[in-house]
Structure 1
Amino acid sequence: MLHILSKKKLPLIINHHFLSLFIVFILATVLTYKTFPPIQIWVSLILLYYYSYIIHIFFHYLPENINMHVIFHHLNDENNSIFIKFFNLYIECLSNILIFVMFYFVQKIYYINFVPAIIIFYYGFIYTTIHIINYSLFHCSKAHVLHHEYAGDIKKSCNYGLDIMDQIFLTTCDNTIEDQNHILLNILFAFFASYYVFKPSIF
């Protein structure tokens, strides 16, 4: 992990990641500061970053014939039909949502309740909209394009995202640092969606 503090990487990480990370954590705190201590929210977000990273890697180890992630996301590149593309995006969206629904219910089953539901929704909204809108529809990220190129070989698979996790765990495809400023709108929409759904007291 200390490698991200090197003279070569740290300025780029600050330039490409600081603003989005800062806003994610600040807006999460704004949503919850009256009901949860900020440290709990920050640890919750770190857990969700790690969880989404690990679960993505796990999907790549599943056999291809039962792997919904590969069937409806990676193989989407090979279909030119508009209907098939949007159907696959719909299934991919449901799959991404299911990842966080699972997290929510595992907490409930084991009576843990450490990560507040509003934060699961908030982070899940960010994660899902980045993958569906920024990556799959608008191809905003070269890193995600490389992830698709190498996805067929688990030994070469890389760029699982979000990029800060790939930087920490050395799973980038080409050791470059992705500019994450394209996710700022996703974060803002996630904040307003979370506020609308959960109606927390923030004033």
Structure 2
Amino acid sequence: MNEAQSAIPVTDPFALFEEWFGEAKAAEPNDPNAMALATATPDGRPSVRMVLLKGHGSQWGEGGGFVFYTNAQSRKGEEIRANMQAALLFHWKSLRRQIRIEGTLTEVSSEQADSYFHSRPRASQVGSAASDQSRPLPDRQVYLDRVAALEERFPEGDIPRPPHWTGFLLTPHTIEFWRDRKFRLHDRRQFTRPGAKEAWSDTLLYP
């Protein structure tokens, strides 16, 4: 069986993610770190949107994970706070690959949130601090006026991070890798573990 026909290998899923992510960064024209984030209310009403991965690997938390940042007063933030479980999906069209990840969420520390917030371009800090994300906006000029007011209030340096702007770490219990094959004979391998301290097990899945 040649390389193109071989199955996705049995390995550490974080190492395999790093390999695929590296190839995506070299191949994808825009935002290779973009991922769909699915959350749900306690009564099971789902919603999904695109966010950006800002940290990943076995060094994050007790068992490794995937980090993103958001306004915790947004719809997704409120759903996360009410139901600390989520799913992620990476789809790299140019590579014809995808990775699905499911797990539990924990909030990053204030120090981590501060560090990332102030690593962003100053204009992005202003835009985030001025936004009541997901809330009704009567007119776009209202938002632009708030941006201008913050820029006037803080003419230089970093913008203070709003306390509700924070990050979350998804610690996975399931990671599934999918690779396109001809005639829809796709290749899928799923890694699972019962807890963050437990070893991974794996299986191929029918396409």
Question: Which structure is richer in relative contact order (CA contacts within 8 A, separation 6 or more)?
Answer: 1
Highest CA radius of gyration, 1 or 2?
2
User: Into which bin does the TM-score normalised by the smaller protein fall?
Assistant: under 0.3
What TM-score, normalized to structure 1?
Answer: 0.28
Name whichever structure is richer in helix by fraction.
1
